[in-house]
Amino acid sequence: MKIAQVCFADILNKKSFLQKETHHEFNNDGNLPNLIDSYSLFVSDGFKETEFVLTGNSVGQLLTTEHIQFILDKKEIAKKQYEHCDEYWLLIFEGSFEVDHFGKLAIKDHLITTTFDKVFIIRQFSSDIVLVK
């Protein structure tokens, strides 16, 4: 927690450099604990809303229908800009590290609303591909 607070303070000090939408890499210039060599940050104007996901343990919370529908609702809006295709498939990538993956699936596919022909979840941490719809 202390390291996160120090990094957050450093980011706030450097916010004037973060105006450009890009990947930023910051080396430890002596203001951070020796444990940190550097950290990176990606700035994007495309993120208009976020969802809090608890990722502080290796068990992972349930991946629910609501999580998937949240993603699908955003992708339905984006899909309006896609070129015409005979079929639309959506691949949802789950995190690949112990701290950013979900645990068990609790998805009720009959409750999912989407116009995508197929929806897959790529569970990188467990190397699984799950067909949701």
- What are the residue ranges spanned by the domains of the chain? 2-42, 63-131
Average pLDDT over the chain, rounded to an integer: 80
- The larger pLDDT score, comparing residue 9 to residue 50, is at 9
- pLDDT of res. 56: 47
Q: Mention every residue, 6+ apart, whose C-beta is less than 8 A from residue 85.
A: none
Beta bridge partners of 90: 119
- pLDDT of res. 98: 57
d(CA 77, CA 115): 11
Phi/psi at 102 (5° precision): -95, 165
Residue 58: pLDDT above 70? Answer: no
Burial grade of 63 (CB within 10 A; 0-12, 13-18, 19 or more): buried
As a whole number, mean pLDDT of residues 117-126 equals 84
As a whole number, mean pLDDT of residues 45-61 equals 61
Spatial contact of 99 and 56, defined as CB atoms under 8 Å apart: yes
Select from 49, 39, 50, 48 the least CA-distant residue to 13: 39
Which tokens is 38 given?
């550097």
pLDDT tier at 45 (50, 70, 90 boundaries)? confident
- pLDDT of res. 93: 84
